[in-house]
Amino acid sequence: MLLEYTDKTNSVTDTELLLDLQRVSNETGKQSLTIAEYKEHGRYDPSTIIRHFETWNKALSIAGLQISNRQYADRELFDNLAELWIKIGHQPSRRDLSLFQSPISYKAYERRFGKWSVALKSFVDYYNSQESLEVYQIEAKPNTTHKTSRDINLRMRFKVMSRDNFKCCSCGASPAKDPSVDLHVDHIKPWAKGGETVIENLQTLCSKCNWGKSDSLNA
């Protein structure tokens, strides 16, 4: 068999995406689909659909499905904001939601908070609150020597990145200056060598420096 090149960026047509939305709607018996529901049953990445149709609701309406006006839980709204903030490396503007294809649209924030500034203030309060601190300490499984789990959850990643000003601690790269920069949170003392998942043992690295670090550790 010959190896064939597949152009993933253009390989899907609008029609194929719409047909798949309708298929999932038929199979699940739901007149309206959330992104999470589609993610579970659909063939394509929801972000591809949003890229093709601008917003999730537009895709739903063109596919003849009902538009969902569901109320998101505050946690979902805040988690989505944290993901976007991490991706772009600075406080998102209202416009950034559509610019960076946020799965949750501005409308959902408007329904909950009224104004974008109120949404941002509530988000900042939440991240500074004890409520968000409590989820930092995830217990490790019994019979390991660790006090914490290896997994770095979103709230903790956000906390570490905001402490590091959304910049790579090694080379200073930031998605705010260069959108191709992808930031990660890394254990300073590796977890495999007894390092814990605590703020003091975590740092922000860009993907290049992160790979460089794992190469030198393996050498």
Instruction: Summarize as ranges the residues that interact with Zn ion (CB under 5 A).
Output: 168, 170-171, 173, 206, 209
Residue 172: CB minimum distance to Zn ion, A: 7
Name which of 21 and 173 has its Cβ closer to Zn ion: 173
Task: Quickly count: other Cβ atoms within 10 Å of residue 92's Cβ.
Answer: 23
Q: How far is the CB of 87 from Zn ion (least distance, A)?
A: 16
Summary count for the chain: helices (H), strands (E):
11, 2
Identify which of residues 51 and 177 has a Cβ nearer to Zn ion in the complex: 177
CB of 174 to Zn ion, least distance (A): 9
Q: Which is nearer to Zn ion, 48 or 162 (CB)?
A: 162
Indicate the SS3 state at residue 174: coil
The answer to whether the beta carbons of residues 151 and 197 sit under 8 Å apart is: yes
Q: Measured from the CB atom, is 23 or 184 closer to Zn ion?
A: 184
132-138 own/partner pairs: CB under 8 Å, 24+ apart: 132/159, 136/198, 136/199, 138/197
Shortest reach from residue 187's CB to Zn ion, in Å: 16
